[in-house]
Amino acid sequence: MKELTAEKDGLEGVSRRSFLGVGSAALATAAVAGFTAHAQEASAGQKPGGPTSDPGPENRGLLELNSNVNMPPVTDHGDTGPLWYSFDLARKRMEKGGWTHQVTQRELAPSKDLAGVNMRLTAGSFRELHWHTANEWAFMEYGNARVTVLNPDGTMFIDDVSEGDLWFFPAGYPHSIQGLGPDGCQFLLVFDEGNFSEDNTFLLSETVAHTPPEVLMKNSNLTMEEIARLPKEQLYIFPAELPNSLASDRASIGGASVRAPQQYTFKMTAMEPTVKGRGGEVRVVDSKNFPASSTIAAGLVRLKPGAIRELHWHPNASEWQFWLAGKGRMTVMMPEGRARTVDFRANDVGFVPAVAAHYIENTGDTDVLFLEMFKTSQFQDVSLNNWIRRMPPEMAQAHLNLSEATLRKIPAEKQEIIAG
């Protein structure tokens, strides 16, 4: 789909004690003074010897991609821990039929719940039959694939997936992925174990290679000559011929008599948006509309230029993001005044700790498209605006020092996306 192939492309000086002791008017004055001082420093940094000057070596390309990390807004403060990584920094494992690389807790230490794998398969090539210790959720970024998964009761699920589709395979259920024509596929895999490793999977090839031949004879009625032809090492990602039609493959294994009752795939981008407005749209998929996805919920978010994913937090899980298109920035706010702003582009991964307030803003001139994923059965978020407006007015006035008339300017209902 075309939407998935867009370009990849003051206050710090106030201590916590003094912050609590000053009135809101004084605090506003301090904030303005801080912004002014920051602007003066930035200007001075353009001259030799300025306080923000950097006469040493610089990686200009990296600085341009991460300007808010290197020169943060004055509202940033303290250390939140890492919130960003990129698949473009991850080593690719190259195979004859494609490649794979991953971003796990080893690369993004705070992400204890989810890990991600990006994989490419050429037309006909297999991600060999295998199974995992973790549940597998997937989003098709490009192309077409055929997927299979076997239930413990012997029923089998076979389906074809295309760009914008999802699948979910439970832990321990053996499955396969095969690239179809005309150009194979590429997809994101998300696992509900932060320290998951794509290299540490259970493979059909290794299972038969490390079972004594005499046991294979008893178990599978094979002769020694037939056992000798079995693979002696892992296949992992390997080329093969394109499969028969989907209908033919389903019929060849027994048809309706062995068909799995569960639906393990879902057409995410084909569904109507859960939320849609001038600033963009959100599609939410969780166990309520995709029952198989029992441990991972997700939102596919599109932001128009200048729009923001409103200030919010998630009460039931940390957030793992994958950026598909455009560029933007996010600030995450933590206890004790900690806050950090990070820039993102396509193929980046973002992380937000559970219950941490944050927003996402489109800072480019094309649409931003990203996935937000959670280790939970149901998608939940809390809107800051919605919370403020649900308070009795006197409660909001006491906390924010705003008049009741001014408070009414704040949207009363959850917006999800606010146009720029």
Report the catalytic residues.
Answer: 372
Helices (H), 228-292: 246-252
User: Amino acid letter at 144?
Assistant: N
Q: Is 136 annotated as a binding residue?
A: yes
Task: Evaluate the omega torsion of the peptide bond into residue 182 and state whether it is cis, within 30 degrees of 0.
Answer: yes
Q: Is 175 annotated as a binding residue?
A: yes
**Facing residues of 339 across strands?**
77, 333
| CA gap 420, 415 in Å, rounded | 13
Q: Is 394 annotated as a binding residue?
A: no
Structure tokens at 167: 């699948």
89-95 contacts: CB < 8 A, separation 24 or more?
A: 90/118, 93/198, 93/199, 95/236, 95/237, 95/238
Q: Is 132 annotated as a binding residue?
A: yes
Number of residues in the chain: 420
Q: Is 312 annotated as a binding residue?
A: yes
Q: Is 314 annotated as a binding residue?
A: yes
Q: Is 38 annotated as a binding residue?
A: no
Q: How many CB atoms lie within 10 A of CB 358?
A: 23
Question: Burial, 261: exposed, middle or buried (Cβ in 10 Å; 0-12, 13-18, 19+)?
Answer: exposed
User: Which residues does the annotation place in the binding site for Mn(2+)?
Assistant: 130, 132, 136, 175, 312, 314, 319, 358
